[in-house]
A and B are shown apart, each in its own frame.
Chain A
């Protein structure tokens, strides 16, 4: 059994020590945390409960002893990119602006077929777009019954940011059907286009 002695430490130090120890442990191993103040004991318990690990707490005099068995993984930093501007190496500095839901000029049916091929191929290419912007009828590609929804979700998971024009969603009354990306506005979209290395208009 591993022991973390956080006596004499004030939050957040006991939290940091506990989380570090848990990360280094293997599954089903037991950890004992010693603490000497109420607040730290409560906060560490709270954190472990949030990790869905069962905790038992005993108190002897002024010393709290917290015992926890590691059941499952400590949540990882899976959404860091949502908060921090981390540049993904796999992502190039170009942006695609979808201004309609077809590709090229000519026969309408062909336009849809080509657009599907275009988007479905994107996850396969090495240079993935940094961001994709959906404007006007382009928003129909980002809603529930879009023919390219799966490919867009894949790209989003790979780190391509998807911005969908909020005014357009409102205009077509599709805001509730948005299925990928986030609602954006002209200011952010303009900034994306203006700072892109290059912009593709399919």
Chain B
């Protein structure tokens, strides 16, 4: 059977098909909330997941994420979409308990493709130590896949994006530039090998990274996805009422991402994210246009952005590098709140 190219069904895939951040904020504004004493984390701070306290010993983390295909192979798409959905549990410092499949699939494509997508998803949920409880599939012109995930965490050990403290050092666990490489590959401007590195990195669960965060008593972190490094760093800065400083010179990025930006290969998501961060962000004159576009690049299943206590930086970095995140790097720091919540330069 001739293999079917999932990418032929979409224009924008992965986390770059997110609704722009400020449009989402407008939609959510003034909608009635459902406050409850057990609701520990809700959408107020645009955190990665919601957290509900069940007992003094246990809180539930609930999150969902799904998107349209970002690669040609259905099995790989399933793995990536699942790793991405599971990541929100890890960004909150939890472990995965159960998951439900969410799928949309066109009537005219062979069902074996859907089977492959689901197989990729199951594999990642198993790797996460979780179980699939079922799911829901609808007919839709553009395929979509993701998970609704339930995780658990001790209420005292929740990691949020609202607890960054001045003096914390920022560590990023995966390279950036994935959106740029994917756009470049669609235009045949970068090699299959470069694309494969990006896809393989997306499949890496943030599970070990989350466990390492707990080991070092980290209180604040987020995962980097569709709003780009700058967008997620800004959300953390605003929620924590501090300023985050990112040094673009130290950023780990995928091979050829920088060269692609230099040719003008800039995905539309960079400009969407620029609109979002610009009012709250100062780009120092030392930051080049290309560097600016890189920090704005939308990531799918990106790394953890960790606020590390400064005394643990060396040890934590070593552990991360040994545990499957070889490109982990210190990329900046948290300082007292300044006029702008985010400074890049």
Which residues of chain B come closer than 8 Å to A51, judged between CB atoms?
289
How far does the Cβ of B126 sit from chain A's closest Cβ, in whole Å? 32
Most buried by A among B263, B274, B310: B263
Residue A35, interface by CB 8 Å: no
Chain B 92-122 interface residues, beta-carbon cutoff 8 Å to A: none
Residue A15, interface by CB 8 Å: yes
Which residues of chain B come closer than 8 Å to A194, judged between CB atoms?
none
**Partner-contacting stretch, out of A73-81, A106-114, A131-139:** A73-81
Whether B289 pairs with A11 at a CB distance below 8 angstroms is: no
Most buried by B among A13, A43, A83: A83
Residue A39, interface by CB 8 Å: yes
How far does the Cβ of B34 sit from chain A's closest Cβ, in whole Å? 35
Tell which of B247, B256, B271, B292 touches A182, judged by Cβ atoms closer than 8 Å: B247
Bound CA–CA A50/B253 (angstroms): 22
Which residues of chain B come closer than 8 Å to A17, judged between CB atoms?
264
Binary flags per residue of A6-26, CB closer than 8 Å to B gives 1, else 0: 000011110111111000000
Bound CA–CA A121/B264 (angstroms): 40
Whether A183 pairs with B330 at a CB distance below 8 angstroms is: yes
Residue B187, interface by CB 8 Å: yes
**Partner-contacting stretch, out of B78-86, B227-235, B311-319:** B311-319
Given known contacts A83-B257, A167-B314, A11 and B291 CB-to-CB distance under 8 angstroms: no
Whether A11 pairs with B313 at a CB distance below 8 angstroms is: no
Which residues of chain A come closer than 8 Å to B253, judged between CB atoms?
83
Residue A82, interface by CB 8 Å: yes
Please count how many residues in chain B sit with their CB below 8 Å of the partner chain's CB atoms. Answer: 36
Whether A186 pairs with B257 at a CB distance below 8 angstroms is: no
Given known contacts A19-B264, A82-B291, A182-B247, A42 and B271 CB-to-CB distance under 8 angstroms: yes
Which residues of chain A come closer than 8 Å to B330, judged between CB atoms?
183, 185
Whether A46 pairs with B249 at a CB distance below 8 angstroms is: no
Residue A84, interface by CB 8 Å: yes
SS class, residues of chain A in contact with chain B: helix
Residue A166, interface by CB 8 Å: yes
Whether A15 pairs with B288 at a CB distance below 8 angstroms is: no
Tell which of B255, B262, B318 touches A77, judged by Cβ atoms closer than 8 Å: B262
Whether B267 pairs with A75 at a CB distance below 8 angstroms is: no
How far does the Cβ of B38 sit from chain A's closest Cβ, in whole Å? 40
Whether B288 pairs with A182 at a CB distance below 8 angstroms is: no
Tell which of A15, A84, A187 touches B264, judged by Cβ atoms closer than 8 Å: A15
Residue A57, interface by CB 8 Å: no
Binary flags per residue of A154-183, CB closer than 8 Å to B gives 1, else 0: 000000000000110010000000000011
Binary flags per residue of A27-50, CB closer than 8 Å to B gives 1, else 0: 000000000000100110011001
Which residues of chain A come closer than 8 Å to B8, judged between CB atoms?
none
Chain A interface extent, by class: 20 to 34
For the A-B complex, the count of residue pairs with Cβ-Cβ distances under 8 Å equals 86
Whether B314 pairs with A12 at a CB distance below 8 angstroms is: no
Most buried by A among B183, B255, B292: B183
SS class, residues of chain B in contact with chain A: helix
Name A46's closest neighbour in chain B (CB-CB): B271
Which residues of chain A come closer than 8 Å to B54, judged between CB atoms?
none
Name A16's closest neighbour in chain B (CB-CB): B264
Which residues of chain A come closer than 8 Å to B289, judged between CB atoms?
47, 50-51, 75
Tell which of B11, B264, B318 touches A18, judged by Cβ atoms closer than 8 Å: B264
Name A76's closest neighbour in chain B (CB-CB): B262
Whether A79 pairs with B259 at a CB distance below 8 angstroms is: no
Bound CA–CA A77/B248 (angstroms): 14
Whether B258 pairs with A84 at a CB distance below 8 angstroms is: yes
Tell which of B247, B268, B317 touches A185, judged by Cβ atoms closer than 8 Å: B317
Which residues of chain A come closer than 8 Å to B291, judged between CB atoms?
79, 82-83
Name A10's closest neighbour in chain B (CB-CB): B11
Name B329's closest neighbour in chain A (CB-CB): A188
Tell which of A15, A82, A83, A167 touches B266, judged by Cβ atoms closer than 8 Å: A15
Residue B250, interface by CB 8 Å: yes
Which residues of chain A come closer than 8 Å to B172, judged between CB atoms?
none
Residue B265, interface by CB 8 Å: yes
How far does the Cβ of B64 sit from chain A's closest Cβ, in whole Å? 27
Tell which of B264, B310, B313 touches A12, judged by Cβ atoms closer than 8 Å: B264
Tell which of B248, B250, B259, B314 touches A80, judged by Cβ atoms closer than 8 Å: B259
List 9 A-B pairs, Cβ < 8 Å.
A12-B265, A16-B265, A17-B264, A42-B271, A75-B289, A82-B291, A83-B291, A166-B313, A182-B249
Given A43-B268, A75-B289, A83-B253, 13 extra CB contacts under 8 A: A11-B268, A13-B187, A16-B187, A20-B263, A20-B264, A47-B266, A51-B289, A84-B255, A185-B313, A185-B317, A185-B330, A186-B314, A187-B314
Interface residues of chain B, those whose CB is within 8 Å of chain A, are: 11, 183, 187, 247-251, 253, 255-259, 262-268, 271, 274, 288-292, 294, 310, 313-314, 317-318, 321, 330
Closest 7 CB pairs of A and B: A19-B264, A83-B258, A16-B264, A15-B264, A185-B314, A11-B268, A82-B249
